[in-house]
Structure 1
Amino acid sequence: MNEHLETMEPTLLWRHFRTFCNTPRPSGKEEALARKIEAWADERGLHHERDEAGNLLLRKPASPGYEQASGVVLQGHLDMVSQAAPGVEHDFERDPIETHEEGGWLHARGTTLGADNGIGAAAGLAILDDEQLTHGPLEVLLTVEEEASLVGAIKLREQWLQGRLLLNLDSEDEGQVYIGCAGGASVSTEVTFDEAPLGEGMAGLKIGVHGLQGGHSGLDIHKGLGNANRLLARLLNHLAVEGLQLADYDGGTMGNAITREAWATVAFPRDRLDYVTDEIERFGRLYREELEGVDEGVTVSHEPAAPDRAVAADDSRRIVGVMHALPYGVAGMSRSAPGVVETSNNMGIVRLAQGKFRLQLMVRSLRDSARDELVARLCTLLTLTGFEPHTNQGYPGWTPDPQAPLLARFERVHEATTGEAPEVKVVHAGLECGLIGAKHPEMQMISFGPTIRGAHSPDERVDIGAVQNFYAVLRAMIEDLAQQ
């Protein structure tokens, strides 16, 4: 599978990325890929070890004569977001990702590509594989479950890394370098409601909101894209006065992805069914108007259904009411980084099955205090509406240091390699730098990568030319850092 990747430049990077594509690696299921990388490292005599979380660390000694250079850590993650396009059957725990080229971009057929962060991780391995490169002591850190709220980085072994210069390879815009990122936390609730058989005179419908682009809940949150959970909750809340009863609900698969589709099986009094279907169609037209030029594929559909049990009308109103009332999207913009979202919230996962209701929200912020305040507000709203909130411990942001010597060095190398100075940026997304920096406060860090679009969605693609430029800059940076 994916033999064409072997013909692309830079050869070493694409060869490793082929391994990533051919080896299933959803979050929590990275073991097969980690074992392949360990076997590759053994063939080349490279040291490797794992920590208690399953993170993989590889080490390569410095080139002869460069043993005194500062150690460099190249960092990425093994896992990928698993999303398939509507109608595409793909088992992310068994099936490889099938890639193809189109117009200078590499795509997957009907699924997420995994360029986030397979390209960056493959680049780190390519550097270890490059026998023509002059370098100081090198480490490649590949974490697990990054896409599941940075689990690997949170559990990273204390003082495991020897290098004091870290190049995170998990950014998605060529020509940019990141020096700060948002921290995050999740808020969830889980409640079991009684179900009962539907009474006579009730009619069932399956209602869906679908056809949306989806996207990254940090990088894309400012674009005004439709979130299927939000749109369906708005419609169901409007219809709740008609005696709506919820039988089931299925919306979203990842807390860090803007939900592309959501479905609810509901029941209404039969004599209100014509009015209900008219309202569903009206909301479909309304959503198309509101999302014109932004998310024009939005579709609201309905079809007959035959649920035999459902949650009572009062409890159904509580469920759709709290979903409708919870804040979503941009909560504030940064004053210190103009044009960057400071704080946001995403409604990523909503489920109702056999009476068990589960909701998961993801909060991001460049300021830990603003993150904690939004988490507190969400918990208060859930409590006031009778839902018990649960929060995770959160993870810290990465505070920018525009005066760091590593950044100045990168700017010089980037301009010498590409002819252009990089843009210095702060990103509203959870890079692992914040967590690694908290464990290694003396470490200098930057993040850069090739151009990736549509991350966390089946539209994910990577610019092939940008990958070549990215690797050239990375290679030049490694050689420059060896000259200290």
Structure 2
Amino acid sequence: MTTATEINQLFPRPLWQWFEQICAIPHPSKHEAALSEFIQQWAKSRNLPVVVDHVGNLIIRKPASAGMEDRKTVVIQAHLDMVPQKNADKVHDFVTDPIQPWIDGEWVKATGTTLGSDNGIGMASALAILGSNDIKHGPLEVLLTVDEEAGMTGAFGLQAGMLDAEILINTDSEQEGEIYMGCAGGVDAEITVPMQWQAADQQHQAFTLSIAGLKGGHSGVNIHLGRGNANKLIARFLAGHAVELNMALSEFKGGSLRNAIPREAQCSFTVPADKVDLLNQRIGQYLSILQAELATAEPALKLSLNSTALPANTMQIAAQKKLINLLNACPNGVIRMSDEIAGVTESSLNLGVVTTEAEHVSVLCLIRSLIDSGRENIESTLQSLSDLSGAGITFSGCYPGWKPDTSSPVMAIVKETYESIYHKEPEIMVIHAGLECGLFKKHYPTLDMVSIGPTIRFPHGPDEMVNITTVGQYWTLLLAVLERIPAKVA
């Protein structure tokens, strides 16, 4: 396995050195304090003014380099947290254990977990610039927000008057050669299905059906790839065979984050002894169906059935039927493609997390849309589905999209700079993911914003990887853009 020392030698070295340090300090969403404290102490050691606002965002300032004092102030923005996802067989505590990066050819990956290149590379680039003595730039601010992945708490909490900048460069994009000028908004939806229980039939046999080996990934940027949703695939089997097999469920659980496509799910249940052979037959048939349908999208899909101890209770049949019907009927994936931007998803829904509690089953979804009406349409659909199922539903954490501004001066600077360096045109894009830029507009409506980044594959999953060459290209572009920022208007 490649050592961290070898990662330190990659170009650009200051960025990769910072990324190694970021990986060494656990920082999943809601647990960024240790990394934040490390960065604060480092900034103070270099006499860089640092502010921690009321929600935990960091704002670090650096004076302009010599001769650049008249330039517009730029804020480089990233988020402190990372998505904690791991393979089922990986022993790893994201709150206490460091990420283990390694080099695989042209990529840096992690060892059975998410890497945190989303948004660790962007954060590392900002900190490397703060620590440099030879990079040309005007007055700089670095904004590192908290809890972006689990609710955008930092972006929601950023108050007016905290930033002086006229230009914001967001570093959370994930494709070199693309400049982002807009993003989707979103809202969380939690459906609560009431549950009633009955004593388990002592003559039944108990089993757990599990699905694993799916790719998962980011519920925004990967949603159009047709990957399997583990929750939906288990629900599909139950909808087709629960009645035939006289199944009595005791638990359904799947997924771990509302913004990650579920890679694993399982349900526990009992069946009469005389249905066991048919159960095995139906599972074999279903596995063949899934392998045929998802041969390209999910070649590592696994479906397994294991005997378990008989549970004390199982779901009452009426409540179980409502749950299965709701999960099976719930929309998932791409709802509509954009009419205005070719190849971009307009609206989507991710059925992210299912958990079974004593009094209810919780179904957590994330709705994304480039337009408010698209989000509202999906909200209405889920409300109707919940009403028909006798379930409750709540919507929370609604955040706006970032409306594209085709006349953005900073976008023009980035585009022209890219063309001058790489002698080709970048693509001007809108991303189907929740960048924080839309929320910043509330208190900073005149802030001129753009988003750039290196190529990151499979974020929000343990297959996450960042392309080494594109990190260097992103760094070169970022530094050239900073040098080209115009003077303030007198």
TM-score, with structure 2 as normaliser: 0.96
Aligned partner of residue 392 in structure 1, secondary structure:
strand
**Does the 8 Å contact 1:112/1:458 carry over to 2?**
yes
Question: What RMSD, in angstroms, separates the aligned Cα atoms of the two structures?
Answer: 1.4
1:341-373 per-residue CA deviation (whole Å, 9 max, x = no partner) reads 100000000011445411101000000121112
Q: Give the secondary structure class of the aligned counterpart of 1:258.
A: coil
Residue 80 of structure 1 aligns with an amino acid whose one-letter code is M
- Code of the residue aligned with 1:231 in structure 2: it is L
Shift of 1:422: 1.2
- Measured in 1, the distance between the counterparts of 2:126 and 2:51 equals 16
| Corresponding residue for residue 247 of structure 1 | 250
Asked if structure 1 preserves the Cα contact closer than 8 Å seen for 2:151 and 2:397, the reply is: no
Q: How does 1:58-137 map onto structure 2 within 5 Å?
A: 58-137=60-139
Kept in 2, the 8 Å contact 1:347–1:361? The answer is yes
SS at match of 1:318: helix
1:181-330 to 2 correspondences below 5 Å = 181-241=183-243, 242-306=245-309, 307-330=311-334
Q: Which stretch has the larger CA shift, 340-349 or 397-406? A: 397-406
Q: Deviations over 1:36-65 (max 9, x none)?
A: 000110111011111111111111122234
Structure 1 position 214, deviation (Å): 0.7
Q: Confirm or deny: 8 A CA contact 1:135 1:482 kept in the other structure.
A: no
The one-letter code matched in structure 1 to 2:303 is: V
Q: Which AA in structure 1 matches 2:160?
A: E
The residue type paired with residue 32 of structure 1 is A
Question: Do the aligned partners of 1:180 and 1:399 also contact (CA within 8 Å) in 2?
Answer: yes
Deviation of the 1:482 alpha carbon: 5.3
Corresponding residue of 1:419: 423
Alignment of 1:423-434 (within 5 A): 423-434=427-438
* Cα drift, residue 191 of structure 1: 4.4
Q: Matched residue of 1:254: which SS?
A: coil
SS at match of 1:257: coil
Query: 110-119 or 235-244, which moves further after superposition?
Result: 235-244
Match of 2:180 among 178, 181, 201: 178
Give the Cα separation in 2 of the matches to 1:94 and 1:393. 28
Match of 2:480 in 1: 476
Amino acid at match of 1:97: I
Residue in structure 2 matched with residue 436 of structure 1 by the alignment: 440
Partners of 2:201 and 2:40 in 1: CA distance: 60
Alpha-carbon distance, 1:190 to partner = 2.9
Q: Which moves more between the two structures, 240-249 or 441-450?
A: 240-249
SS at match of 2:373: helix
Kindly report which structure 2 residues correspond to 1:317-466, keeping only aligned pairs within 5 A, or say none. 317-466=321-470
- Give 1:134 shift: 1.9
C-alpha contact 1:243 1:313 (8 A) present in aligned 2:
no
Looking at structure 2, the residues matched to 433 and 53 of structure 1 have their Cα atoms a distance apart, in angstroms, of 17
Letter in 2 for 1:294: A
Q: Deviations over 1:259-282 (max 9, x none)?
A: 001011111222222212211111
Which one is further off, 474-483 or 101-110?
474-483
Alpha-carbon distance, 1:284 to partner = 0.8
* 1-structure distance, mates of 2:344, 2:88: 32
> Which residue identity is paired with 1:265?
S
SS of the residue corresponding to residue 394 of structure 1 reads strand
CA deviation vs aligned residue, 1:114-169 (integer Å, no higher than 9, x gap): 00000001101111111111211101111111111322211222332110101000
Q: How far apart are the structure 1 equivalents of 2:339 and 2:191? A: 32
Q: For 2:246 and 2:73, locate their aligned partners in 1 and report how far apart those are by CA, in whole Å.
A: 65
Q: Is the 8 A contact 2:72 2:487 kept in 1?
A: no
Gaps of 5+ in 1: none
Residue identity in the other structure for 1:400: P
Tell me how far 1:192 sits from its aligned partner. 5.0
Per-residue displacement from partner, 1:428-482 (whole Å, max 9, x unpaired)?
1111111112321101111010011011111111111110111011011111115
- 2:178 pairs with 1:164: no
Is the Cα–Cα contact under 8 Å of residues 136 and 482 in structure 1 kept in the other structure?
A: no
Q: CA deviation at 1:483?
A: 5.4
Question: For residue 14 of structure 2, what is the aligned residue in structure 1?
Answer: 12
Deviations 1:273-324 (A, max 9, x none): 2212211111111011111211111121111112232221221111111110
Structure 2 distance, partners of 1:279, 1:160, is 60
CA distance in structure 1 between the aligned counterparts of 2:166 and 2:127, rounded to whole angstroms: 19
Q: Displacement of 1:254 after TM fit?
A: 0.7
- The CA distance in 1 between the partners of 2:142 and 2:236, in whole Å, is 46
Deviates more, 1:382-391 or 1:146-155: 146-155
Which residue of structure 1 lines up, in the alignment, with residue 47 of structure 2?
45
Contact conserved, 1:350 with 1:360, CA < 8 A, in 2?
yes
Structure 2 SS opposite 1:124: helix
